[in-house]
Amino acid sequence: MTKPIHAIILAAGQGTRMKSALPKVLQPVGGKPMLVHVLETAAAAGVTTSHVVLGHSAEPVRAALAKWLSEVPRIAIQAQQLGTGHAVQQALPDVPDDAIAMILYGDVPLVSAETLRHLIDAVHDGLALVTVNLPNPRGYGRIIRDQAGRVVHIVEESDATAEQKQIHEINTGLIAAPAARLRHWLSQVRNDNAKGEYYLTDIVNLAVRDAVRVTTVAAASPREVEGVNDPLQLARAERTFQRIRAEHMARDGLFLADPARFDLRGTLRFGRDVHIDVGVVVEGEVELGDNVSIGPYVVLRNVKLGAGTRVDAYCVLDQAEAGRDNNIGPFARLRPGAKLADGVHIGNFVEIKKSSIGNGSKANHLAYIGDATVGARVNIGAGVITCNYDGANKHQTVIGDDAFIGTDSQLVAPVTIGDGAYIAAGSTIAKDALAGALTICRSRDHKSIPNWKKPKKK
């Protein structure tokens, strides 16, 4: 019978070195809180139940987990910060004796599911540890072995002798053991050390005393098990995360101009022959069809682009959707609700918001289209704006197929431009324009209306 696996994730520290109002374990890596990364990795490794030990800022962390996860883990509170051994004891009452308990950390976000699976497999009814060799092990607990190479002790930096400090194999803190044995050992841990804390690592001495096998698992790399305590370490974790993701996607067929200059803060699905230039930031859920090309320094946030679409440099696409063979940018902005059909051209300094643009239509430069429905084969000239906001409410503009909107025209919504209508340059259109007709609305009159009342929201 397979034993249930319970993860106890320690996340109660104050995180003072981060110097941030945001709790440390909620600091993002790849656009996602570090603690959420750990929980998701634990689940991927086969963990059946997760317990998060919180202390400072427990409520914001609890609220964040409810937002990010469909199933919130069990929460234990460590009211006093009395060490890692004490923290684990706060969650152990909810862990059954027949389970394997695995200790993880909310500020170690890059540990892999593969390493955790190896850790679980190494328990064998004994004690298993993840270790790593560091060129500079300063600050970490050292692994002490006997002449036969067996682990006999872990000594913390503050308690280590000068000779022990020369050891390069360090304890990562990732531990797994049968819950019953872990409970027994922790009940015997004492705090007679330099910091007066209950060290989780003291269970190694107790396991050796009880003649219980202690097995070590080597981490794939030091970066995988590095803790994040300050903004510099957070930045390093971000770059490591991005490099891993970029290399994985490149092997899956994504053409990245430079994997070191690519940021994925969400999920990216892509077809064949998709090319992404340097400095691109992908956030949320993004889908790119076959032969999509993304230029340098583009932001894609919750975007879906059809096959053959090209996005040129410095565009921002946010909650937008485009069909096939569109040309977008450079310096274009698609805001939430922007929907482009096929063969659409959106040029430099054009902004589209909550509007649909029909097949083959063009707005090549310096235009604002908001709250509009634009038909097929429409030409929108430079400086055209839809005046959709009256100061209180938004109004709709409808532009029919094959219409031509001349340069520097203003379409004052609500207004409809008929099919094939031609709006002369510099016109201000406040009434519906007839289909197939030339509409000119220019005036030299200038007047102010006193006692005018501002519109109120409906």
Active site residues: 365
Quote the CA–CA distance of 291 and 308 in Å, as a whole number. 5
| Burial 234-250, CB ≥16 within 10 A → b, else e | beebbebbbebbbeebe
With a CB cutoff of 8 Å and minimum separation 6, the contacts of 344 are 322, 323, 326, 327, 357, 358, 359, 360, 361, 362
The separation between CA 385 and the C-alpha centre of its own chain, rounded to angstroms, equals 35
Question: Burial of 371 by CB count in 10 Å (0-12 exposed, 13-18 middle, 19+ buried)?
Answer: middle
Say which DSSP state 57 is in.
Answer: B
DSSP string, 141-181: PEEEE-TTS-EEEEE-GGG--TTGGG--EEEEEEEEEEHHH
**In 3-state terms, what secondary structure has residue 337?**
coil
Contact (Cβ atoms closer than 8 angstroms) between residue 30 and residue 6: no
> Nearest Cα to 107, choosing from 177, 16, 183, 5?
16
Quote the CA–CA distance of 128 and 123 in Å, as a whole number. 5
DSSP string, 5-32: EEEEEEE----GGG--SS-GGGSEETTE
DSSP string, 423-442: EPTT-EE-SPBPTT-EE---
In angstroms, the Cα distances linking 160 to 139, 154, 156, 165, 349 are 10, 9, 6, 6, 62
